[in-house]
Structures are given as structure tokens and as C-alpha cells.
């Protein structure tokens, strides 16, 4: 009997972008179950709270029946084991991403040999996209249309204009 593929896709998702959505859409087609795992990191100063990011992700990911959203803190591999995941999904945009992600994958393999890392390359349309860049553009009043799902665009406008969008 073939083993099912349960993957986690960890990240801060602050905010959720169309690049994330692309990786999730393609990853959910590969996995039997995909868990979008939002990192709780108190040392960073996120734009949105973990609870807000969970709500936004659930709203955007509602069409994907095999995708769930959760949050975690600590080691990714510990969360993977807790969830019964046998894979970690990661998106790669450029060579710099690969170098960082390779180091993380090798450390994760050392810590949890049974959990494999799967790399998906970013689509051409989203290869330049990062949450940091989206926040910067939105904070300066620029348009993020097409860079984030419409529901996230509204949340960004509200956050940066104080609700006067």
C-alpha cells in the first residue's frame, strides 16, 4: 500500500502573496494533505498577528480541500513530526534562496531523517515577489494588485490607511 504524502509549508506569510498561493496550489496537487504552517516568532515584528495571518490564509485557501492552516513555534521538524508529516515543502525564487534553503534542508534531514524536503521553483510571474517587498510597496501607497490575493490587498490597504481605503 503506497504511503500518503503529508507535507507542511512553513513560513511567516506576513502577508500572504500570490507567490505563496502558487506554491500551495502546485504543492497541494502533489500532496495528499498540505498544512500551511504559520510561524509564531516573537522576535520579529510582523505587520499582522498570527491570528490575522491564519484567518487570511484560511480565507484565501478555502477552495483547496486538502489544505489546512495551523501555526507553530520552535523547530519545523518537531511540528512536522507532531502533524505526522513526511515532507516539508519550500519555494525557491533565486540562487540566494537555494543556498539558504539547502542549508535548512540539510539541517532538517539531520534532525529528522524521515522528513524529506521538497523544493518547488517559483513561477516566472512570481519569482521576484516577497512579503517584504509587498509590505514596502503597500506602505508607500503603491498598488499591490496582482501581487496578493484581493482579500489580502484589502487587509493591507486597511492596515496602512487606518481603514480609510
The set of catalytic residues is 20, 44, 93, 131
Report how far residue 156's alpha carbon sits from residue 145's, in angstroms, rounded to the nearest whole number. Answer: 11
Please answer whether residues 163 and 32 qualify as being in contact, where contact means their C-beta atoms are separated by less than 8 angstroms: no
- Work out the end-to-end distance of the chain between its first and last CA atoms, rounded to an integer number of angstroms: 54
Spatial separation of the C-alpha atoms in residues 146 and 110, rounded to whole Å? 39
- Quote the CA–CA distance of 74 and 66 in Å, as a whole number: 24
Q: Which of 139, 117, 163, 150 is nearest to 16 (CA)?
A: 150
Amino acid at each position: 500500500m503506497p504511503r500518503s504524502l503529508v507535507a507542511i509549508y512553513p513560513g511567516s506569510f506576513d502577508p500572504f502573496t500570490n507567490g505563496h498561493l502558487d506554491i500551495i496550489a502546485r504543492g497541494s496537487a502533489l500532496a495528499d494533505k498540505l498544512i500551511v504552517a504559520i510561524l509564531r516568532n516573537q522576535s520579529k515584528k510582523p505587520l499582522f498577528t498570527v491570528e490575522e495571518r491564519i484567518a487570511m490564509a484560511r480565507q484565501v485557501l478555502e477552495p483547496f480541500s486538502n489544505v489546512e492552516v495551523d501555526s507553530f513555534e520552535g523547530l519545523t521538524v518537531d511540528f512536522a513530526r507532531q502533524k505526522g508529516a513526511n515532507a516539508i515543502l519550500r519555494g525557491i525564487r533565486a540562487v540566494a534562496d537555494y543556498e539558504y534553503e539547502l542549508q535548512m534542508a540539510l539541517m532538517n534531514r539531520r534532525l529528522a531523517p524521515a522528513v524529506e524536503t521538497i523544493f518547488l521553483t517559483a513561477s516566472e510571474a512570481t519569482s521576484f515577489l516577497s512579503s517584504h517587498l509587498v509590505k514596502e510597496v503597500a506602505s508607500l501607497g503603491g498598488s499591490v494588485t496582482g501581487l496578493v490575493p484581493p482579500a489580502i490587498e484589502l487587509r493591507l490597504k486597511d492596515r496602512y490607511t487606518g481603514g480609510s481605503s
